[in-house]
Amino acid sequence: IDGAFEHCLVGRVSDGKVNPVLILRVSKYISAEKLKTVRKNAEAELSRLSLAGFVRSIVFTGEPIMRDDEIKLNRRRIAAALSCSVEDIVCSDQTHTTNLRIVGKADGGKGITREKDYSDVDGLLTDEPGVYLATFFADCVPLYFVDTRRKAIALAHSGWRGTVARMGQCVVEKMREAYGTDPADLVAAVGPSICQECYEVSEDVADAFAAAFPKPGQEREILLAKGGGKYQLDLWHANEIVLTEAGISKENIQVTDLCTCHNDCYLFSHRASKGKRGNLGAFLGICPN
């Protein structure tokens, strides 16, 4: 673990068939600017998709728009990209909570090759090499954590409910409790998700954030009033605030500039697709060697 994150974009079609494969793998967290460098080639391939007109990415979790054999093939491709087996991947069971679960080799394959024996888990932690954590998104925020000293990791799902309940802080506290993690040793990332420009919320959500972020200036930093009881919410910065207040150095936090809603040709977005979408997968593991 060296603080660099690997991220995968998927959406290529081979021979005109609905047969997505990995098209890009980068050693550092991808930005919107870097995404533009592959746009032309990606668009040429994505234009050949024919699944109900809205499949633009690999489907991992069992969406009804794909056959079981296609889903299983996609899972094997993701495992190959991660240099692991599908039996090494452990999936969350997200319900917009701040519940966390420590997993290990004994949990391998849960949510893929065998049933999960847990529910209501929005974040996973491990310090076992060869275990790959998986969480799923379609506008909500993926949060990545790496303890560079104790070689422990965590991956969490943080929508507006998770963010207002400070999921990032919950993860840091759980890592401290389980592994003795010092936040000074943590590298974290706020992953691709919906940006403030695209994320309109109602007054009740805005009020919840104003109460959860009471320090001077914080409300203005994350909420933009539009009138009529509507606000634009900045989940990226809100999560960055949570992580810094949990003790992670700002220099050790990478914040995305890649919006799922603006880039719905490449990434699944619930809002952009009006619910006609699959899920993005976030993966994080400790290499066994």
pTM across the whole model: 0.80
Contacts with 92 (C-beta within 8 Å, 6 or more apart), sequence order: 111, 121, 122, 123, 124, 133, 134, 135, 136, 155, 157
**Range 8-29 average pLDDT:** 34
Residue 91 pLDDT level (bands cut at 50, 70, 90) = very high
Q: How far apart are CA 197 and CA 190, in angstroms?
A: 17
Q: Which residue has the higher pLDDT, 107 or 52?
A: 107
Could you give the percent of the chain with pLDDT greater than 70? 77
Q: pLDDT tens for residues 198-216?
A: 999 999 999 999 999 999 9
**Range 155-169 average pLDDT:** 97
**Range 225-234 average pLDDT:** 96
Residue 67 pLDDT level (bands cut at 50, 70, 90) = low
Phi, psi of 200 (to 5 degrees): -85, 135
Answer whether 256's CB lies under 8 Å from 35's CB: no
Answer whether 156's CB lies under 8 Å from 143's CB: yes
